[in-house]
Amino acid sequence: MSETWTIKYVIYREKKGQEPKFEEFSLEMRPEEYVLDGVEKIWAYHDRSLTFQHACHHSTCGACGMLVNGVEKLTCITKIKDVTENGGVVRIEPMRNFPVVSDLVVDMSTFFSRMETAKARQVVSLSESPTDSGIKREPNAADDLYRLSDCIECGLCISACPITATNPEYLGPAILAAVQLNGLDRFPELLSWVDNADGVWRCHSAFECTEVCPSNVEPAWRIMDLRKQVVSRRVKNLFGMK
């Protein structure tokens, strides 16, 4: 029989009109199980009023981001043995820098809205994208599609960002990374959106975003590169260059 550990889950609880509090649950967990498994066990066997969100269970949907012992994690890919030990504590809180809706669920609508603004410019024609064979298609409006990128829009980078914590107007790591991916030469209309005090210049290079990103987007590096793009674009605009 596989080894089990006794784990104390300490869960943040917040319901509308009630004072936030922490509740404790004792669970028998295998070290190889995931943190999300424990949250689901609490909901299934202890308290059906616990609110949290998840979907894919394999780090694709980005829905299960939470603070685990004070660090931003995708809970579906974070193993118990990587955050605690037998007899230890797993403290679960909602992500920072987002309003709490209920318990572990946060309101990400502003973040998603900003991502849509960034992604709206990512619509490109297949005719502009190399195919697997390297052959370009003829222009065809029906072929327009969204380019895929590695960002799963989990919001962990926003939660970890110390600048977002002090300035909610700051666009934030994932949004700026998306703009960098687009490229300002390709989408110069994005320049004014990112070239201001709440845009690319607000970042203080803490690199917390890159530290917690589960998808290797490396948003901090992309923000640094976007600054170069901004300066280059300014010069090109000054001299009327494309």
Determine if 203 is a binding residue for ligand SF4 (CB under 6 A).
Answer: no
Number of residues that bind ligand SF4 (CB under 6 A): 14
Q: Which is nearer to ligand SF4, 42 or 200 (CB)?
A: 200
CB of 150 to ligand SF4, least distance (A): 7
Nearer to ligand SF4, 97 or 215 (CB): 215
**Residue among 64 and 90 whose Cβ is closer to ligand SF4:** 64
38 touches ligand SF4 by CB under 6 A: no
Among 181, 190, 213, 226, binds ligand SF4 (CB under 6 A): 213
Q: Judged by CB under 6 A, does residue 219 bind ligand SF4? A: yes
Measured from the CB atom, is 59 or 102 closer to ligand SF4?
59
Distance of CA 131 to the CA centre of its chain: 29
**Shortest Å distance, C-beta 87 to ligand SF4:** 31
* 3-state per-residue secondary structure call for the chain: CCCCEEEEEEEEECCCCCCCEEEEEEEEECCCCEHHHHHHHHHHHCCCCCCCCCCCCCCCCCCCEEEECCEEEECCCCEHHHCCCCCCEEEEECCCCCCEEECCEECCHHHHHHHHHHHHCCEECHHHCCCCCCCCCCCCHHHCEECCCCCCCCCHHHHHCHHHHHCCCCCCHHHHHHHHHHCCCCCHHHHHHHCCCCCHHHCCCCCHHHHHCCCCCCHHHHHHHHHHHHHHHHHHHHCCCC
Length of the chain, please?
242
Write the interaction track for ligand SF4 spanning residues 131-170; mark x where CB under 6 A is met and - where it is not. --------------------xxxxxxx-------------
Task: Choose between 80 and 108: whose C-beta lies nearer to ligand SF4.
Answer: 108
Nearer to ligand SF4, 45 or 112 (CB): 112
Q: Which residues bind ligand SF4 (CB under 6 A)?
A: 151-157, 173-174, 177, 213, 215, 217, 219
